[in-house]
Structure 1
């Protein structure tokens, strides 16, 4: 039943959007057994496949810039429509032979509430829908989602930063093994959590982060953080303008992240 709800929601959302950098739904129908089938335009290979098969050490700068621009355009459009994708990652970015990028997989996408533009976090928020892809998708989750806080379009900006960094360096930026370990890796890379977020680490513990956390991924480590080595990790491999863009996307406090519209005015583009 849950898979059916996700499929129907994806159909509804895709029928409502129209942008050259968002995959187009050609048709959808139910089989006699009740399953929902969707037919899409051909989008090519995923950026994840391209990275693994053709560019294991990172996608070349000129090509990556072209991809990044199109992906930000897609997010700008969605966010103006008050839609948050919630699953931006290399596997959900398709690129065809002409270099046209299309964002796909809208199964987790949501229309934002009109009231405040945020989705409530927590155990009842459907953030942690029990489906296999979320084992991997954790690597692209924003701190506010990991900590069960309210979230909105800035969570897509965070995932964008993780995605671009991965495509540039050829490996995931923060491959955590649990929610708590993910927070620990984020703070090790970017510095300590803001005060208003630190208290939420206990929430991550309560909702399953601790059981799967490896040695060293303690609440203390996650909350304390250290100096930010992001620039040291990226600076030698990426052009400064891309480092600036990724760093802006990966500001821990979602209120400090630029919008997709603001990203388009950064020097990288």
Structure 2
């Protein structure tokens, strides 16, 4: 039982009324729920401990990370507790779901540039905070960028995030193989010299392409083929012919992130100063554009489950 935020959220499953499913992963399901004593709608991530019995350390790390972070662009857990064979993590409910859900429902060919700039700026703010506190997110992608009803953007899912300040000493690099292949940096795949914060910058660049096209590069290929293509091919990017609708500064931003040598990639802090972000708008702009007319998240999730 663990209480993680100022407001006292109960740690008894009976104090929550579970509504519809709004997300799922390999070993976790996310539900919309009502916290009865506080009369507040929340999201509850239910992790099946039997399905992830080999990764209890990873789960503890995720919950620990979610409890320590405090930034407007990161999802922070309210509390967590064990219930039967599962771990419940109670979080704020981001009513519009992920950018991936929004694209699959209404923008299959990707978003317009001002929308992309706004989303990416908010994600970068989250990465600046995480990197500054010694964390690598390790799974930056559209499916982990959540949007609230008012257009607020938060980066979620620290299922694979690593702390580089473990035991007080800064560990220069990690050697564990985690993340989603399409978004994975070459140095993470190679497992030769480990990796650091710059792995998130590669994933950020891939996410930029995903938001621009509605899907990640190589997404139609099986994982092993993705690994080979990422390691052997030139880095993906915005094509000057096919992607005429996008600005030169957007193409340059993507190009700066998708460099195979991690030392040549900019830091999240430096990227935030890139001229591309002059195109970024307010959260309210997101609410008026991409969120306008979307059906409720649970309904969209049911439809997507049937389609995909």
| Structure-2 separation of matches of 1:229 and 1:84 | 23
| Residue of structure 2 equivalent to 1:37 | 88
Among 147, 154, 164, the alignment partner of 1:95 is 147
| Residue of structure 2 equivalent to 1:221 | none
| Structure-2 separation of matches of 1:230 and 1:143 | 19
| Residue of structure 1 equivalent to 2:162 | 110
| Residue of structure 2 equivalent to 1:25 | 77
| Structure-2 separation of matches of 1:152 and 1:96 | 30
Which ranges in structure 1 are unaligned for 5 or more consecutive residues?
129-133, 191-227
Q: How does 1:186-201 map to 2 (within 5 A)?
A: 187-190=232-235
SS of the residue corresponding to residue 162 of structure 1 reads: helix
1:52-78 superposed Cα distances (whole Å, 9 cap, x missing partner): 111111112221111111000000000
| Residue of structure 2 equivalent to 1:257 | 265
Distance 1:85 1:51, change over 3 A: same
SS of the residue corresponding to residue 28 of structure 1 reads: strand
SS of the residue corresponding to residue 25 of structure 1 reads: coil
Q: How does 1:70-81 map to 2 (within 5 A)?
A: 70-81=122-133
1:35 Cα deviation after fit = 2.3
Q: How does 1:145-184 map to 2 (within 5 A)?
A: 145-149=188-192, 150-175=194-219, 176-179=221-224, 181-184=226-229
Distance 1:34 1:181, change over 3 A: closer
1:183 Cα deviation after fit = 3.4
Distance 1:25 1:116, change over 3 A: closer
1:34 Cα deviation after fit = 4.6
1:164 Cα deviation after fit = 1.1
| Residue of structure 2 equivalent to 1:10 | 62
Distance 1:152 1:185, change over 3 A: closer
How many residue pairs align between the two structures?
219
Contact in 1 for aligned 2:209/2:238 (Cα 8 Å): no
Higher-Rg member (1/2): 2
Distance 1:187 1:232, change over 3 A: farther
Distance 1:234 1:18, change over 3 A: farther
1:11-69 superposed Cα distances (whole Å, 9 cap, x missing partner): 111111100000021110111x2521101001231010111111111112221111111
Which ranges in structure 2 are unaligned for 5 or more consecutive residues?
1-52, 278-308
| Structure-2 separation of matches of 1:230 and 1:179 | 24
Structure with a larger share of its residues in strand: 2
| Residue of structure 1 equivalent to 2:256 | 248
Contact in 2 for aligned 1:174/1:186 (Cα 8 Å): no
Contact in 2 for aligned 1:48/1:90 (Cα 8 Å): yes
Contact in 2 for aligned 1:189/1:229 (Cα 8 Å): no
Runs of 4+ aligned residues of structure 1 deviating over 4 Å after TM superposition are none
Contact in 1 for aligned 2:80/2:90 (Cα 8 Å): yes
CA RMSD after TM alignment: 2.0
Among 109, 119, 128, the alignment partner of 1:57 is 109
| Structure-1 separation of matches of 2:273 and 2:237 | 25
